[in-house]
Amino acid sequence: MTIYFYKVSDPYGCFSNFSPHSIDLGGRNWQTVEHYYQAHKFLGTTDEPLMVAIRNAPTPEEAAQLGRDLARTCRPDWPLVKTVVMREAVLTKFLTHADIQQILLATGDESIVEDSPRDYFWGCGLDKTGQNHLGQILMSVREEIRHR
């Protein structure tokens, strides 16, 4: 049975990038994967100072709001690198936190889908036709950890 997740408070909410599991990456601590992902939109741009504000945002929702500010300069190669940035953060999250690593491994070979009603890239979107890149990353991280 396909595993759907989205909200942190719902079943498998620990698979959400908004779940309260911090990661250490690039010599810094990030409160959530979402903080890390949103901040890295600005690496190497004139808006790089915004990375600090995003890292210090009190919630992942606020980090996402800052990262989605269309008035800011997103790095030009973001469409090419965003899945690599995301995978590194998600892998680090599940290597760092043993409790949720067990939850991920216990899903066996089930499909994992981010049931976002809006996002057709990271999730499956309202009509379930989306590309589900976050679910794909979770399944690939599951495979990598299983064979470590």
- Quick one: how many helices (H) and strands (E) in the chain? 6, 4
CB 46 → ligand AOF: shortest distance, Å? 19
What character string, x for contact with ligand AOF (CB under 6 A) and - otherwise, covers 39-78?
Answer: -------------------------x--xx----------
Q: Check residue 116 for interaction with ligand AOF (CB under 6 A).
A: yes
Region for residue 26 given its phi and psi (left: phi exceeds 0; alpha: psi -120 to 50; beta: otherwise): left
The single-letter code of the amino acid at 96 is T
φ/ψ of 4, rounded to 5, equals -105, 140
What are the tokens at 57? 């945002």
φ/ψ of 84, rounded to 5, equals -70, -45
CB 35 → ligand AOF: shortest distance, Å? 10
Pairing of strands 23-25, 28-30: antiparallel
Looking at 35, 89, 104, 114, which residue binds ligand AOF (CB under 6 A)? 114
Q: Check residue 88 for interaction with ligand AOF (CB under 6 A).
A: no
Angstrom distance (rounded) from CA 57 to CA 69 = 14
- Residue with Cβ nearer ligand AOF (64 or 91): 64
- Residue with Cβ nearer ligand AOF (62 or 97): 62
**The one segment of 24-32, 43-51, 95-103, 111-119 that binds ligand AOF by CB under 6 A:** 111-119
Looking at 66, 134, 139, 141, which residue binds ligand AOF (CB under 6 A)? 134
